[in-house]
Structure 1
Amino acid sequence: MKLNNYNLATINQRELLKILDTSKKGLQYSEIEARQETYGRNEIEYKKEKSVLQIILEGFLSPFTLILIILAFISLATEYLFVTSGKKDLTSFIIIISLVLISALLEITQNLQAKRSIDDLDEMVEVTSNIIREGLAKEIPTEEIVIGDIIHLSAGDMLPADVRILESRDLFISQTPLTGESELIEKRATARIKKGQADTEFQTMAYMGTEVVSGTGIGVVVRLADDTLFGDIAKKLQESPIKTNFERGIESTTQLLIKLMIVIAPLVVLINGFSTGSWVQALLFGISVAVGLTPEMLPVIVNSNLIKGAKQLSANGSIVKDTNAIQNLGAIDILCTDKTGTLTQDSISLEYYLNTIGKEDREILKYAYYNSSLQTGLKNVIDRAIIQRGRKELTTSELRARKIDELPFDFERRRLSVLVDKEDSQVLITKGAIEEMLSVSSKILVNNQIYELTKQQESKVLDDVQTLNKQGLRVLGLSIKEITLNHQEINVKDESEMVLIGYLAFLDPPKEGAKEAIAALAKEKVKVKVLTGDNQYVTQAVCREVKIEAEKFLTGDQVALMNDEELLKASEEYDVFVKLNPTQKARLVKLMRNAGHAVGFLGDGINDSPAMREADVGISVDNAVDIAKEAADLVLLKKDLRILEKAVLNGREIFGNIMKYIKITISSNFGNIFSVLLASIFLPFLPMQPMQLLFLNLIYDISCLAIPFDKMDQEYLRQPQKLDSKEVKNFMFWFGPISSIFDILTFIVLYFVIIPKALGGEYFNLLSNQQRNFIAIFHTGWYLVSLWTQTLVLHALRTKKMPFLQSRSSLVMFLVTTITVTIGTIIPYTKLGLALDFRPMPIEFWLYLLMVVVLYLLLTTIVKNIYVKKYKKLL
């Protein structure tokens, strides 16, 4: 029987439990497996893990790998399937397929490794739910919940599925993730529901992704995963996922290379076909050029760096939930953070409980204890501090009271009220920010006498509180109101005509190391901005301790009056924002992002989750509420800015190594385009055989596998790093021609000097056998020059400094590039070299190679210095 949301919200509880074949004691364990098979796991489609088969297919279906596969089969057709038996040759096909296999298998291996790593890390930050099975409470991962499970809800929980409420006690839920509205909705076991009401207005239903702010409840799971209201929204978002800046940059670069390939490869085929008369060879060479233009190792290099980065971050105390966050970490130039627990120790103590004349008063502590201990919302550090002090100083009889009803805290009222039955009266006890308490209080208790709260007295109260704030103490006001007996429910209207009876002053000292961490982040060009719900005086006191400029600040009231343009301007000018609600925090983050900043947000509370979702990188901590951990891309095992500083530097190093491959390889390939075009026009033969060009590409790709293990210069790590496709194009146009210059010089020297001297004559004056030898030596010479310059330029362009002298690569990169160059140089003197039609080179060539390498590195260094002066950066 399929029930819609209206049916689920209105059906009799007993009948619903019967339809779902469950009871309030929960399901039997013997039923769970069958239900999971029927309904599937409780995972939204966009969050489902890729299967091993999907990962394997994706490894072979990247744009560059597909191009290589197509080229391989064209080579197979032209060199093997449609040629006479004596001329069949599989060499080019085997080399291209080898490139495909190396690239695809490395990518598959890395993705499988990443899947395992992320699974392991996910277990460390697992979001769980409290359910009842066979009459006993049990905590299980949300993915394992099935339809018919009985679930227990309490403050701080995120709804893991769509639930029909069976029991509730002051259960208030924030539906912001579904509706965007900040108003809390009370959920009940029974309520009047009209046809035509929006699903989110049904008080008997609680929906996946919404957040329990206060109270408790029990519900039965009626919908899972994609069938939920949240799942339906997620599917629509999946249809047009937002790409990160890094993904857009990679996509733009890929499109540029494919366009170049489409233009250049056919041009090379036509020119060589007309100049040599061998159209088959021209086609094969065109294929080889296309392969040479393909940075098939790009997915491998990116994945290697991300996996390495995730491991580094894990070792440094950070858990990566989304690997894309690693690149974004490297780009952060603004870090927004709350104050409590980040700049302070998050070990709040109740220092003073004062009456309105500034003296400690047990009655103040007693009423504060009732308010904090009897409320069923999320007990924050403030409540815990009050409860701890109350249990220490109050007698057993003083601690005893019965709660009748409550109004949970929300970020609009900024108050929490509890109605208490105490002996022969009912008392409404409200605590909250001092301004909010003054707004609901019309009287004040002074020396046990109640007086009207005048403007003069209000001013004195604010002065007293300000004095405490300037000492770094956070102050809440406490008001009470006697309510008519037998009053069973309270609402916001009851928070009026109250009597202000005193203040609660809390101390949360600055965290050790916070000042140094903020100074270090500033050195790394990351601006720390404080976005807090606390008032300016406490915030200023803490900010002064940790050296954050806080004399200029904006309040939430001022923010509310600003349009987007005004607030954006203010966000550049101010570093401290106080008395903000969650919506205002998220708005500030969004505006800064839209202005081109990369923004991180560090938070751990319900009020931080909207801003975390809006940030480029949402950062939370391991002991945060479920909602905050779910919104985070990165979870710190400790709420410590020093860990975050390391994470930012790791992100920049990873980004830098990815950029090395992208920029250097693309510029080298771009230079080779012009070399090949000019050689095709002026040489009477191909500048290199197809299989030789493919072999050269294979060796270079192997040397590039060391890039993820390289290190970055400290100067590079001092700046936020973003991928800009314009930068890639600029780099390509500046450094690509250097490769072309030395290629053309090599063609001239080989063709007119070295080879004629070695063979005793110019090409057209030689016999056909000698001409074949001339061509083979020419091919070998260009292969060796390309091998040395292509590999050594990795060292020249990996740093702004002088390579080898001022900046050395990692040992892994040095060894891998040295070994590949050595093996590649020896190849022409081996049987493999003979099979590839290479030849030993005359002594004059080695002198020329030495000169070319030195001049190449020298010119590259000169151009590099000019480029850095012009663009202020290299990678």
Structure 2
Amino acid sequence: MSADIEQGLPSAEAERLLRQFGTNEVADKSESWPHALAAKLWAPLPWMLEATILLEVFLGHGLQAVIISVLLIFNAILGLTQEARAKAAVKALRRTLAVMASVRRDGRWMRLGASQLVPGDLVKLALGAVVPADIKIAAGNVLADQSMLTGESLPVERKPGDLAYAGAMIRQGEATGIVVATGTRTYFGKTASLVQDAHGVSSEQRAVLTVVRDLAVVNGAVVLAMLAYAHAIGRSFAETVPLLLTALLASIPVALPSTFTLAAALSARRLVRGAVLPTRLAAINEAATMSLLCSDKTGTLTQNALSIETIIGFDGMAENAVLAAAAAASSEGGDPVDQVIIDAARLRGVAVPEATGFTPFDPACKYAQARLADGSLLRKGALGALLQVPLSAEQEVARQHLAEAGCRVLAVTRTVGAATVLLGLLGLADPPREDAASLITALQELGVRVVMVTGDAPETARMIAKSVGITGDICDSATLETLAAPGDYGVFAGVFPEQKFRLVKLFQHGGHVVGMCGDGTNDAPALRQAQMGIAVSTATDVAKAAAGLVLTSPGLAGILDAIREGRAAFQRIRTYTLSMVVRKIAFVLYLALGLVMTGHAVLTPLLMVLLLIVNDFLTMAITTDRALPSSHPRRWRIGRIITEGGVYGLATLGYAALMLLAGRVIWHLPLPQIRSLSFLTLMLAIQASVYVIREERWFWSSTPSLWLSVATLAMVGFSLLVAGMGILMAPLGWKILGTIMISAAVFTLLLDLLKHLAVQVERRGFSHAG
């Protein structure tokens, strides 16, 4: 490269080019509101409502058809609003978790957001980076993974003169190059992103969909029995079809997809305000289930404030000579360790030998090397990777002294031909974080076991683990290779990145839900394998793209926040799921019971649609509720969900049946008023069940969120108004309305008592089992 190019662009020129070419971004193609609304009206549930509208028109019920049409459009708009909030959260994640680039301007290297790159910028591509724009390689060689762009399964070599495309990931090597295209002008027209689009189904969604499927089978059988009974008692087609539609509407979880998305998006937004960036919304839910955390050391348990504490030379080698050799095998603006060594050499005024070739640090081999003009190789890295012969007594004592002092030990060697000589050792100090011990204690109190996984020597790992409160035996790299089960090991030392994948699988086979911290490119497989991949604050772009959570500050505090928020989100979704099960059981069985008791459908399609809309409002409010995080990892127990929902559903059915009996026997209400009574009773009963389910203690033990309280008051007020005034239904007298309200309050207390007794019985069962 020419001297001018090596200096990079002047800032003024870069600003001019940015105005000319625009930011290095590709605008999202947003769907128009009319198109999105049309899509909302073309799906299985809307089809059922649209069939109901056509049926009402066919039967001559024009007003009901209009009202259901309005409610259908209203529900679609409500769903679009929920999705818009979720998309806004994801866009915020994309802005916050932006790809950064190492770019040279005004003669110095700096870190800039990839969106600020312009054609002509000189950019460094290092191991683990995402290529931020289309770049023509000027010096160096890299292996670029373009699988997400071209579908090629193997990385491709990019040498001087070749193009590295925006969005590719650097798997090996280091290079510098010139930006030739940005934004929509890039070859694939796609800028790099670390935030994943959530197209997959999380384990939480799979669990709830399993509940829905199982209940759909039961409800289907009930609906068939209802049709058979209606036919047996001589009901006409005009009465039977609305009954069928009403029962089917009661069986479908209208707000299921948008509820999951919104709950996760709101939790993600709360985490972004802290020190955690989710790369996919499902990661919020997975954090709730994590039972074991594999924590790395540097920057998580330690301060990530590396400094050269000690330099030891062998065979008369001076400290500055050892440092000079280490600096020759380092790259400025690259690895943080390299920068520490280069800064130390510069501070001491050490003359660094000029290298004719350089190979950056590779986690697979654990060293970096420089080739000198005389053909010799200077290397720095892990001692075991550089030296295959046993250490002398002097060298072993020095190594052990540094390791026991908690230093990270780097060896510096010189190779001439086949002979390798150990020049000396560097002891890099990185003291434990002041908050590490308290945060590990907090994680353990939440039922999360913490183990340390590090590439450092066992002695160094032992000292750090002891200082932060991690207990258990130490497992070295060789032992891990043959390990069948992780057992009681608390520290895994000398671990190679590829061994982390094996370690995650071992813990998973032992029944753990694993969280894995990582920072390097080679950590990506382990981060993907773990249920909760966590990229630490210093992670490469490749590691961030593989992880579910990215920490934006050092330490474990972000992980603690993610677990608490995940468990709170779990509780909100559990409340929604249980209330959904209650509705499915109570609504369908009530329709069947009402048919037997009255010989007619006790709810019209219009009233059922109205109930669904009311519950949609409540469902949206549940996602904002103040939920207390559990003190232990959460898991979806399908059997328990169905059992609890069945108990609450049958209790709700019993209450509604008593009110139906009172309407017929005590108040002697005609069928239109019976339907109004049914609507109001079920609406209040479902509201009551939500407040009972959301709190494992007495329902008044915690205050619901403002939105949940407002939604409840609004829906109760609305329902009383329409039932009292006879809007959309036959009017009920205010005396009857008052009686229903009092009975609903009594039902809430009795349902909460039932829950409390069930919890006591369950706890007693656990204590006897223990």
Correspondence for 1:201: none
Distance in 1, matches of 2:378 and 2:494, equals: 23
State the Cα deviation string for residues 260-305 of structure 1 (Å, max 9, x = none).
Answer: 5544445434433543634313321322222222221223322332
1:470 to 404, 420, 425: 404
2:72 to 70, 75, 100: 100
Distance in 2, matches of 1:182 and 1:583, equals: 19
Distance in 2, matches of 1:869 and 1:99, equals: 47
Distance in 1, matches of 2:364 and 2:352, equals: 31
Distance in 1, matches of 2:380 and 2:109, equals: 33
1:52 to 21, 24, 31: 31
Matches within 5 A, 1:504-515: 504-515=426-437
SS in 1 for 2:545: helix
* CA-CA distance at 1:856 after TM superposition: 4.1
Correspondence for 1:516: 438
Correspondence for 1:447: none
**Greater Cα radius of gyration, structure 1 or 2:** 1
Distance in 1, matches of 2:151 and 2:611, equals: 57
Contact map agreement 2:137 2:175 (CA 8 A) in 1: no
State the Cα deviation string for residues 190-214 of structure 1 (Å, max 9, x = none).
Answer: 9xxxxxxxxxxxxx68676341644
Contact map agreement 2:581 2:646 (CA 8 A) in 1: no
SS in 1 for 2:613: helix
Distance 1:642 1:29, change over 3 A: closer
* CA-CA distance at 1:724 after TM superposition: 4.5
Matches within 5 A, 1:499-648: 499-550=421-472, 552-562=473-483, 566=484, 569-570=485-486, 572-593=487-508, 596-621=511-536, 623-648=538-563
Correspondence for 2:5: none
* CA-CA distance at 1:143 after TM superposition: 8.3
Contact map agreement 2:457 2:493 (CA 8 A) in 1: yes
Q: Identify which range, 259-268 or 314-323, moves more after superposition.
A: 259-268
State the Cα deviation string for residues 338-385 of structure 1 (Å, max 9, x = none).
Answer: 11111000011111111248xxx8823333234325533874333333
SS in 1 for 2:369: strand
Contact map agreement 1:153 1:212 (CA 8 A) in 2: no
Is 1:798 equivalent to 2:694 in the alignment? yes
Correspondence for 2:619: 704
Distance in 1, matches of 2:73 and 2:762, equals: 37
Contact map agreement 2:326 2:379 (CA 8 A) in 1: yes
2:336 to 377, 381, 396: 381
Correspondence for 2:50: 73
Distance 1:476 1:245, change over 3 A: same
Distance 1:791 1:848, change over 3 A: closer
Matches within 5 A, 1:400-479: 400-421=352-373, 427-439=376-388, 458-479=392-413
Correspondence for 1:775: 671
Q: How many residues align?
A: 745
Is 1:365 equivalent to 2:278 in the alignment? no
Correspondence for 2:646: 733
State the Cα deviation string for residues 208-267 of structure 1 (Å, max 9, x = none).
Answer: 634164442437879999x99999xx9xx99x9764312322432343454455444454
Distance in 2, matches of 1:66 and 1:826, equals: 32
Is 1:755 equivalent to 2:676 in the alignment? no
Correspondence for 1:195: none
Correspondence for 1:5: none
Distance 1:560 1:683, change over 3 A: same
SS in 2 for 1:687: coil
Matches within 5 A, 1:167-316: 167-169=138-140, 171-173=141-143, 188-189=159-160, 209-211=168-170, 213-218=172-177, 243-275=201-233, 277-316=235-274
Distance in 1, matches of 2:200 and 2:347, equals: 53
SS in 1 for 2:515: strand
SS in 1 for 2:362: coil
TM-score, structure 1 as length reference? 0.75
* CA-CA distance at 1:670 after TM superposition: 0.9
State the Cα deviation string for residues 762-818 of structure 1 (Å, max 9, x = none).
Answer: xxxxxxxxxxx53234333333332322211111111221111x3343343234323
Gapped runs of 5+ residues in structure 2? Answer: 1-12
Is 1:88 equivalent to 2:1 in the alignment? no
SS in 1 for 2:699: coil
Letter in 2 for 1:472: G
Distance in 2, matches of 1:722 and 1:577, equals: 27
Contact map agreement 1:103 1:300 (CA 8 A) in 2: no
Distance in 1, matches of 2:265 and 2:753, equals: 35
Distance 1:139 1:467, change over 3 A: closer
Distance 1:112 1:73, change over 3 A: closer
State the Cα deviation string for residues 124-146 of structure 1 (Å, max 9, x = none).
Answer: 2222557899x999998768999
Distance in 2, matches of 1:162 and 1:862, equals: 62
Contact map agreement 2:370 2:379 (CA 8 A) in 1: yes
Letter in 2 for 1:312: R
SS in 2 for 1:115: helix
Contact map agreement 2:215 2:584 (CA 8 A) in 1: no
RMSD after superposition = 4.3
Correspondence for 1:154: 125
State the Cα deviation string for residues 609-630 of structure 1 (Å, max 9, x = none).
Answer: 3322333333234554333333
Correspondence for 2:610: 695
Distance 1:184 1:350, change over 3 A: farther
* CA-CA distance at 1:312 after TM superposition: 0.7
Distance in 1, matches of 2:152 and 2:766, equals: 46
Contact map agreement 1:55 1:108 (CA 8 A) in 2: no
Correspondence for 1:110: 82
Letter in 2 for 1:500: L
TM-score, structure 2 as length reference? 0.84
Distance in 1, matches of 2:34 and 2:506, equals: 37
Contact map agreement 1:608 1:628 (CA 8 A) in 2: yes
Letter in 1 for 2:63: L
Contact map agreement 1:796 1:857 (CA 8 A) in 2: yes
Correspondence for 1:787: 683
Distance in 1, matches of 2:160 and 2:422, equals: 36
Matches within 5 A, 1:650-665: 650-665=565-580
Distance in 2, matches of 1:868 and 1:784, equals: 35
Contact map agreement 1:776 1:839 (CA 8 A) in 2: no
Contact map agreement 1:777 1:840 (CA 8 A) in 2: no
Q: Identify which range, 508-517 or 206-215, moves more after superposition.
A: 206-215
Distance in 2, matches of 1:500 and 1:181, equals: 42
Distance in 1, matches of 2:574 and 2:627, equals: 11
State the Cα deviation string for residues 539-577 of structure 1 (Å, max 9, x = none).
Answer: 111011100014x12222222334xxx1xx22x532321
